[in-house]
Structure 1
Amino acid sequence: MTVQQVPARLVFRIPATAVLGALLLAVAATPFAWAAPGLYAVYLVPVAVIVWVMRVRTTADRDKLVTRTLFGRHVLPWSDVRALRVSERSWVRAVVEDGKELPLPTVRTRHLPALALISGGRLDDPTEAPEPAGVPAAEPSEEDAD
């Protein structure tokens, strides 16, 4: 029997290679930025993209979820999470006790099994088949012990 190791925390974030796209945007904007005085402000767009890529994330550990957006941070203990809701575009939102929904940046449906694992059983893994009600688990026979 294998023992499943649970990591101390999981971080869901935009890949850092996305910064390369922002740098390419800055290079492509250079002719436009130097075409007239004041247009160099166009460089603020790639800088904002880089800050966004480096800042936005969701961190999950055994005790809580921490979401960081461009301008804020929200700590959500697992005890406050009633459920997770998946939108049409595979975005995941946490439904809290008062029915309010909080978005979990960069978390997608493919991450739900990992969230269920790190939550310590507070969330169900949607990829596991539920056990039929009233059917006892199969006991190992003597032949299986050999």
Structure 2
Amino acid sequence: MTVPQVPSKLVFRIPATAVLGALLFAVTATPFAWAAPGLFVIYLVPIAAIAWVLRVRTVADRERLVARTLFGRHVVPWSELRAFRVSERSWVRAVAEDGKELPLPNVRTRHLPALSLISGGRLDDPTEAPAEDAAAEDTAPEPEHATVPATPAEPEPAETASAKPAE
């Protein structure tokens, strides 16, 4: 059995090919942008989209978690994080020791095992079943209607096992 290799850094971001969609929007908006004076501001939409795709990300390494937004950056060491919180839409937030929540751009619930692994065990994987629940399931009492013997039955001696024909 092979032990999984722990990466030194994880980056969660939108694929760079999304820039192509913004460029396509810019090309198709060209006739509209030059139709009247002042409509060229429509080009701000693809520029903002490109900046968003290239800037917004979450980077996790062994020491800290960095969440970059369009206009800011939040750096939090793993030691200052208490847990992850998952919203109804599967967005993940990091909960700091003081109770503040830090949104983690582009991180989803499927990424939580990787974040738990790179944190070095400082934060538990919430998708993993707790150990005490698994142990409780193993020792659960059997239903009363089960007819499983507690000890295996011993075979009867040979002379009593075979029936003698009645004469």
Shorter chain as normaliser: what TM range?
0.7 to 0.9
Write the distance in 1 (CA, Å) between the matches of 2:40 and 2:109. 40
Counterpart in the other structure of 1:52: 52
Q: Give the AA of the match of 1:65.
A: L
Normalization by structure 1: what TM-score? 0.87
1:71 is aligned to 71
- The aligned amino acid for 2:65 is L
Q: CA deviation at 1:75?
A: 0.4
Q: Using the alignment, how far apart are the partners of 1:134 and 1:112 within structure 2? A: 20
Provide the residue aligned with 1:18 in structure 2.
18
Could you tell me which runs of 5 or more consecutive residues in structure 2 were left unpaired when the two chains were aligned: 136-167
SS in 1 for 2:48: helix
How many positions carry a matched residue from both structures? 135
Task: Give the structure with higher Rg (CA).
Answer: 2
- Structure 1 distance, partners of 2:114, 2:134, is 28
Q: Secondary structure at the match of 1:128?
A: coil
Structure with larger RCO (C-alpha < 8 A, sep 6+): 1
The one-letter code matched in structure 2 to 1:37 is P
Partner Cα distance (1:106, 1:127) in 2: 18
TM-score by length of 2: 0.77
Give the 3 Å change call, closer, same or farther, for CA 48–92 of structure 1 in structure 2.
same
RMSD: 1.5
> Shift of residue 83 of structure 1?
0.6
Question: Structure 2: how far apart are the matches of 1:58 and 1:16?
Answer: 15
3-state secondary structure, aligned to 1:74: strand
CA drift at 1:4 = 1.6
